[in-house]
Structure 1
Amino acid sequence: MSPATGAATLSARRSSRFVAWVRAWRAGLVPYDEVADEIAAGEEHLVADAPGAWTDIPLRDALSALSKLSPDEIRLVLPAPGDPRGLPGPGAFAGAALLAGEAVVARDLGVIPEVRNHTSGSGVTFETVLWRVYPLPADLPPAGLTEPGAAEAEADLATALAEATAALTRLDVAQWRPELAGALAALRRPDSGIDLPPGFDPRARRLFARASVLDRVLALAEHVAPGGAVNGYEAQQRDAALRPLTVACRRALVAACNAPLAP
């Protein structure tokens, strides 16, 4: 399995974990001491350009900048070219968020993860995650006005999945490479660790788990050969069949992570 494929298999969107756990902390549902470790999930996470800091600092230390925010002021955004939903408008943050495909909006701060690859002197490769902080305008419109709720997003995702499956079956291009079978099976396991912290209702949890698996499978699809598609036209047909599902999946993740929290 190629490194790119492995990364797509193992990595869920880091911004979704950030938003879910920070919102639960700000709602008083999880202790501050647990938040950084839950976000990092075993990786090394640093923060650049944090308010009041002159150098990169550990994620745990940077989270204090969000200690006065309410849960609803912390939002997940998953923009894509042609779909900048959730972004505050043109600027450095919007450009970086579109490039990354994910970001966090926290009142007057925007936060985006950057994955950095390193190689040790002995040839071992490893990653670190740098969360870069951007200042945002103080007069942003209320968040969530254009976001679907969890119920609507769940219905849209189910419809998009059914339509994509039917289209791919007709096109005979939904054949995964054999070496991905184990990875896909692992993603489908109930104990794959795809869950939200306390405070999210059952619908949001169900939506997040389903959308997270689909999101990672779609990421795999971008890194592998198109299976039964043997020419450019058929590859385009496959991509067209997956595009609505990709959009529905992104919106489902946003709706789940930004869902109202129980007191």
Structure 2
Amino acid sequence: MSCASATLAVWASAWLAGSAAPDDVLDALAPWSEAHDVLAADGAAVGVTGLPGPAAAPTSTAMLLAAVRRGSPRGQARLVLPAPGDVRGLPGPGPFSDAAITAGEGVLFPDAGFGVVPSPVAEGVVRWTVYAVPDPGPVPEYVALNEAERELRGQVRAAAAALTDLGVARHRPGVREEIAASLRRRPQALWPGGMPPQALRVLQQADEVDAILSAASGDEPGGALSASAAIARSDALRPIAAAVRVARRAAVAEAVRVLVSVPRT
């Protein structure tokens, strides 16, 4: 689903560009957890950011924003959505990349020299762990939103056909209601004014497709698949999950591009 990292990447970029206030960034993170705290992963991250290290008490997301401002007064954030076997956008091997792959998300602040990865650490608490990233790697390949949308739709059709051919796409009573309920349970992301409409549409489509993926990945009660059928289903759904990640990255990158181009008032 649209994730806390996407929210932080968009809002922090807008704030750095002068088109949002710090409190706007903090408020936008609220739907993802009742509380957020911040901790540097190791001495290298402490040195880059001045944030408390693993042996200290966590600090607040306001202090994270202050570290971003010190390191990159007019920089931009970059969303990463890696998965095992799909490390596009990551800076290369290292603690940040390892943590982002485990979490499935993260935010790079390339000009500031660090990245952050969120993870739940207690009921109602998300911790943003900060990692030094001395070399953020090359700028990821540009993906146009039109292209990302087309690929997303194409992969949905291809996956549906493949699942039918494999005999693992069976009618499941109430599946539409299951998908709708899944979408209702997800946090409602808040976005800045001035978000490009196409980016918002792609983010919504990606959420909808992700909910369909979740439903397609589950088994009917009492109808668990054989091991071979489960592998075949996973293989059929893997490309659509990749298309969802690409679409979200493209939408966030376009939103950041537009928002940072807004003149300061």
Fold-level match, TM-score > 0.5? Answer: yes
Structure 2 letter corresponding to 1:33: D
Displacement after TM superposition at 1:65 (Å)? 1.6
Q: Which segment drifts farther, 253-262 or 47-56?
A: 47-56
Distance 1:234 1:246, change over 3 A: same
TM-score normalised per structure 1: 0.79
What RMSD in Å do the two structures reach over aligned CA positions? 2.8
Q: Please, which of 55, 59, 62 is the counterpart of residue 61 of structure 2?
A: 59
Displacement after TM superposition at 1:192 (Å)? 7.6
Q: Which segment drifts farther, 94-103 or 173-182?
A: 173-182
TM-score normalised per structure 2: 0.79
Structure 2 letter corresponding to 1:116: V
SS for the counterpart of 1:85 is coil
Q: Please, which of 81, 92, 96 is the counterpart of residue 95 of structure 2?
A: 92
- State the match for 1:39 in structure 2: 29
Q: Which segment drifts farther, 248-257 or 72-81?
A: 72-81
Whether the 8 Å contact between 1:21 and 1:39 is mirrored in structure 2 is: no
Mapped pair 1:234 → 2:237: no
Q: Please, which of 77, 81, 91 is the counterpart of residue 78 of structure 1?
A: 81
Aligned residues between the structures:
241
Q: Please, which of 107, 113, 116 is the counterpart of residue 111 of structure 1?
A: 116
- State the match for 2:242 in structure 1: 247
- Map residues 1-263 of structure 1 onto 2, 5 A cutoff: 12-41=2-31, 42-49=33-40, 51-54=49-52, 55-67=57-69, 69=72, 73-107=76-110, 108-117=113-122, 126-137=123-134, 139-144=135-140, 146-175=141-170, 182-187=177-182, 193-194=188-189, 196-219=191-214, 222=217, 224-225=218-219, 230-259=225-254, 260-262=257-259, 263=262
CA–CA distance in structure 2, aligned partners of residues 195 and 156 of structure 1: 26
Displacement after TM superposition at 1:217 (Å)? 4.1
Distance 1:204 1:28, change over 3 A: same
Deviation digits for residues 138-197 of structure 1 (CA, Å, limit 9, x no counterpart): x434423x24222221111111111112222333433587687644213557x9835632
Deviation digits for residues 188-237 of structure 1 (CA, Å, limit 9, x no counterpart): 57x98356322321111111111123234434655x33776631221122
Distance 1:12 1:148, change over 3 A: closer
Distance 1:57 1:182, change over 3 A: farther
